[in-house]
Structure 1
Amino acid sequence: MTEPARAEPTVSVVIPVRDDAGYLERCLRALAVQTSPPLEIVVVDNGSTDESAAVARRHGARVVEQLQVGIPIASATGYDAAVGDIIARLDSDSRPGPEWVATVQRLFAEHPEADALTGSGLLETDEGESQPVRSRLYLGPYFVLVRWALANLPVFGSAMALRRSVWERVGDEVCRHDADVHDDMDLSVHLGPDAIVLFDDRLTLPVSARPLEHVPSMLRRGWRGMYTLARHWPQEHPLGRHVRRLRAQRSVRRRAALSAASRVA
């Protein structure tokens, strides 16, 4: 007997933006040609003085205003407003391929245990020149070092998705009013070491290399990363998180063994 096909979840795409109309236009054009269109696109206008909101409306996006400046509060506002089963997050300079939303849907349908999904970023110049070496040098350490610090895989804010039910669980805990935190890293902290976060390279997409073009900007991003982690210490110290993850894994194995034993009996 053929098993019924799993219903694919609906997807809300959230894009926080502040004075980035040009990149937003490009991102929304990419979303307009998805093989599986999202249920909705929520653009959070974070006090823009340019045409960002007008660009969003022209492409049929739902615009939500958040006048308190900061990526954490803008992102959280978008997640709060989303109505899809899945909340996918892009930045205004993300450039998703035509299968990106469909891949998010398919992966969550195939992995009902997953709390969140993430890809990485492929840095490119404003002229569209790909920078693979620079991408690995920047994002490779992010995933390795932050994964160690969190005892779990972190999500990457330019190419990630999580279940709305998961956001409803952690949304009141994130540091949405602190503009100095990296919102994706902060979200990863609050997902917890026992969350199931899956990486899939099919979600990796081109993003602008703008943040790495100047040394002060690079140093500022590095400082914000350290600040984000330190802000949660000592409660979320790496060693404590690793202990919690080990305990959670043992608990899962114990429940699986008991379940198997009961079936045999």
Structure 2
Amino acid sequence: MSGAQADRPRRPTVSVVVPVRDDAAHLRACLALLGVQSRRVDEVVVVDNGSRDHSADVARAAGARVVVQPVPGIPAAASAGYDAARGDLILRCDADSRPAPDWVERICAVLESAPEVAGVTGPPRFVDRVGVQGRVREVLHTLGYRWCAGAAAASVPLWGSNFGLRAAAWRDVREQVERVDPLVHDDLDLSFCLALSGRHPVVHVPTLRMGASGRGFTSAAARRRQLRMAVATLRRNWAVLSPGQRWVRRLGRRAG
């Protein structure tokens, strides 16, 4: 090995975590897109959250490592995936995500070029919402989550279907996140915990869009469930520190 090669920093290893439950068809499409990324990942960890279909078989056939998490709910599944990930960088998407060919490369570029940044996230692009009405709903959802959740947490919120995080940051907060309650938004809860630590800033990249299904918002019942989950997540984290106190801490850190 030459001296120049020896002095070159080691390239971070990358894990992609994909929770799944009874979503084999969507998972197959997602894993196919992860397999043709411009920056190859070191592993894909699929967390089987009690699937009754052949999701786990689909994952293994695509070369993914399957982790079984029988406790129902995304908080349990996502946490199990992050715990199992071996990479220096942990990227997260969902079974119904449709990552662009440069998705991995773009997230890694941000984290590699900015060592002070712990996480990077971007907005959704709902592939099953067409027409003007569909796009308006997409924009309203995206802006509503980013600004309302950001104000609640006094930080940039992660969107669970589209983010990357340093494994070291996850290890710092893994004991604080909710792992059991399925009515907690895992991504927002993780955002609260990262912000509370004061050491793990997250950046939002508006052009880092992720294709995803909007099925979680298509019915009144689904929207009511999303609202109940938001309330449960806010209650859990505001019981630790109120939003006003969170903003005082954030502004104090900036002033310091």
* TM-score normalized by the length of structure 1: 0.89
Stretch deviating more after TM superposition (201-210 or 29-38): 201-210
- Amino acid in the other structure paired with 1:230: R
* Cα deviation, residue 213, structure 1: 1.1
After superposition, the C-alpha distances for 1:120-167 in whole angstroms (9 at most, x for unaligned) are 101121xx8474322111121110111111111100000011100000
- Give the one of 202, 205, 211 matched to 2:216: 211
1:246 maps to 251
1:254 maps to none
Secondary structure of the structure 2 residue equivalent to 1:201: coil
2:117 maps to 114
**Contact preservation (8 Å) 1:157, 1:184:** yes
Secondary structure of the structure 1 residue equivalent to 2:50: coil
> Based on CA coordinates, which of the two structures has the bigger radius of gyration?
1
2:227 maps to 222
Name the CA shift for 1:203/1:7 in 2 (closer, same or farther; >3 Å): farther
Aligned counterparts, 1:140-219, within 5 A: 140-193=143-196, 194=198, 195-219=200-224
Secondary structure of the structure 2 residue equivalent to 1:192: helix
CA distance, structure 2, for counterparts of residue 202 and residue 9 of structure 1 = 23
Is 1:99 aligned to 2:106, yes or no? Answer: no
CA distance, structure 1, for counterparts of residue 172 and residue 15 of structure 2 = 17
**Contact preservation (8 Å) 2:183, 2:228:** no
**Contact preservation (8 Å) 2:195, 2:201:** no
Name the CA shift for 1:41/1:243 in 2 (closer, same or farther; >3 Å): same
2:26 maps to 23
2:90 maps to 87
- Amino acid in the other structure paired with 2:45: V
CA distance, structure 2, for counterparts of residue 138 and residue 233 of structure 1 = 22
* Cα deviation, residue 218, structure 1: 0.6
**Contact preservation (8 Å) 1:212, 1:218:** yes
- Amino acid in the other structure paired with 1:39: D
* Cα deviation, residue 235, structure 1: 2.3
- Amino acid in the other structure paired with 1:77: A
Q: Give the RMSD, CA atoms, in angstroms.
A: 1.6
* TM-score normalized by the length of structure 2: 0.92
* Equivalent residues, number: 247
Secondary structure of the structure 2 residue equivalent to 1:87: strand
**Contact preservation (8 Å) 1:44, 1:78:** yes
* Cα deviation, residue 117, structure 1: 0.7
- Give the one of 56, 64, 78 matched to 1:75: 78
* Cα deviation, residue 236, structure 1: 2.1
* Cα deviation, residue 233, structure 1: 2.4
**Contact preservation (8 Å) 1:100, 1:202:** no
- Amino acid in the other structure paired with 1:235: V
- Amino acid in the other structure paired with 1:120: P
* Cα deviation, residue 7, structure 1: 4.7
Secondary structure of the structure 2 residue equivalent to 1:105: helix
Q: Which runs of 5+ in 2 are unaligned?
A: none
CA distance, structure 2, for counterparts of residue 6 and residue 95 of structure 1 = 31
**Contact preservation (8 Å) 2:13, 2:41:** yes
Q: Once superposed, which parts of structure 1, at least 4 consecutive aligned residues long, lie more than 3 Å away?
A: 4-8, 128-131
